Amino acid sequence: MTDLGVGTAALPVLMTMAPLDAVTPRGAVTGGWMLTQLDLAAGLAGRRASGGEALILSIKDLTFRDALRAGEDFQIRAELTRKGNTSFNLLLSAWAGASEPQREIFQADVLMVAVDAEGTPRKLL
């Protein structure tokens, strides 16, 4: 996968299948499972964007747009929208479906910080 850069198109960072064992009584996958996937995707994309370890500082905005059903293909894409000295923003969008048109499941603006081995903020590479 190509590294993330400000102004580049959103890139897939996580692809999986919605689990059968994390559904609500109505058959939709729980928000908790999707937030775990968001955390994993932010870590993967954050590593690419910062050139090393990165942590979530805050989820500035999270909007669920559609339900995810068990057994559906699930993909999270990341786009670097801002890059500062030690922090940066990622726009994470989740999509469902094996073929076009896919449905957008959620979108989140995530504020990340690059950290060193001790967990202190470091300059972005």
Domain ranges of the chain: 11-114
Whether domain 11-114 has CATH 2.40.70.10: the reply is no
pLDDT, average across residues 104-109: 98
Report the alpha-carbon angle 90-125-5, nearest 5: 40
Q: How confident is the model at residue 6 (pLDDT cuts 50, 70, 90)?
A: low
- Residue 1, pLDDT score: 40
Q: Is 70 exceeded by the pLDDT of residue 2?
A: no
Looking at the predicted structure, is the pLDDT value of residue 43 above 70? yes
Report helix, strand or coil for 28. Answer: strand
Asked whether residue 60 carries a pLDDT value surpassing 50, the answer given is yes
- The mean per-residue pLDDT over the stretch 28-56 comes to 96
